[in-house]
Amino acid sequence: MIIKQYQQHIEQLIKEVFEHEDKAIEQAAQTIATTIEQGGRTYLFGTGHSHMIAEEVFVRAGGLASFKAILSPELMIHELATKSTAIERLEGYARPILDLYKVDKGDTIIVISNSGRNAVPVEMCLEAKKKGCKVIVITSLNHSKAVSSRHSSGLRIFEIADIVLDNHGQQGDASFLVRDYAVPTGPTSTLIGVLLIETVMVKVVELLIEKGLDPEVFRSSNLDGADEYNATLFEKYHRYLK
């Protein structure tokens, strides 16, 4: 019974996202397709669990080769669970990361943060805009609008972005109550965030094809002949990852 209830809970959320985010998905895809057409790069960044959404479309089967994830270990949870939580609240961290990754004018960056309130994601948006980048964010407006910013600007990422993809999650992310247990489970930000970014990517591929361009999509390395095909994309975009 509980499995069916959770299934219905998620199905309703997915329906809501597709009903309300179709325009933003289209805008995000158009922005990224233009970036690729003009020779720019699309960067993805998230702290804590949000990094998984950035990693989802990075150097994988079906992923666009020009996508580049910014995966700073100190902002991920695999080293120490509470470490990323502490560091993502520090100001002054995002700017050197952008410089190290050579993010520049004409690029697009996708910043993922469910609450959208912490200093590093906010600063990432602000500094990317200063560089002349288009900024797309994936966030929960329900959560973000209910809390204050932890950055000195007083801004949350949805207030900075050019395009906002709302994951329609509840405040606190976990949104499913099991019987009479007081603490909700079943967080939705990763599930819906992956759905949003994959949907955007599918649309980008279609737009590039319509423009007569090669989308340059990785094939699975577990298919025969894929290594040779992928090698050209690694050489062009990710030489250091070969």
For the cut 70, the answer to whether the pLDDT of residue 209 exceeds it is yes
77: confidence class by pLDDT, cuts 50, 70, 90: confident
- Is there a contact between 49 and 194 (Cβ–Cβ < 8 Å)? no
Which residues in 13-49 are b (16+ Cβ under 10 Å) and which e?
Answer: beeebeeebeebbebbbebbbbbbeeebbbbbbbbbb
The string of DSSP codes covering 83-144 is HHHHHTT-TTSHHHHHHHTT--TT-EEEEE-SS--SHHHHHHHHHHHHTT-EEEEEE-HHHH
The per-residue pLDDT for range 87-140, each reduced to its tens digit, is: 889 999 999 999 999 999 999 999 999 999 999 999 999 999 999 999 999 999
* Residue 96 belongs to some domain of the structure: yes
- Give the CATH number, domain containing residue 219: 3.40.50.10490
Q: Is residue 1 part of a domain?
A: no
Please give the average per-residue pLDDT across 196-216, as a whole number.
Answer: 97
CA gap 81, 88 in Å, rounded: 12
Q: If you count DSSP H runs as helices and E runs as strands, how many of each does the chain have, helices first? A: 9, 7
Confidence at residue 241, expressed as pLDDT on a 0 to 100 scale:
56
- H or E element in which residue 216 lies: none
What is the rounded average pLDDT of the residues 5-11?
Answer: 95
| Inside any domain, residue 66 | yes
Q: Are strands 42-46 and 108-112 parallel, antiparallel or unpaired?
A: parallel
Residue 201: per-residue pLDDT: 97
Q: What is the pLDDT of residue 242?
A: 46
What is the full DSSP assignment across 9-47? HHHHHHHHHHHHSHHHHHHHHHHHHHHHHTT--EEEEE-
Q: What is the dihedral of CA 114, 116, 118, 119, to 10 degrees?
A: 140
pTM: predicted TM-score of the whole model, two decimal places? 0.95
Residue 2, domain member (yes or no): no
Q: In 3D, which of 135, 190, 181 has the Cα closest to residue 157?
A: 135
How many domains does the chain divide into? 1
Instruction: Compute the average pLDDT of residues 178-196.
Output: 95
Please tell me the predicted confidence (pLDDT) of residue 240: 60
Predicted pLDDT of residue 146: 97
Q: What is the pLDDT of residue 80?
A: 79
Q: Examine the pLDDT at 66 and tell me if it is beyond 60.
A: yes
Containing structural domain, residue 44: 7-241
Statement: residue 225 has pLDDT above 70: yes
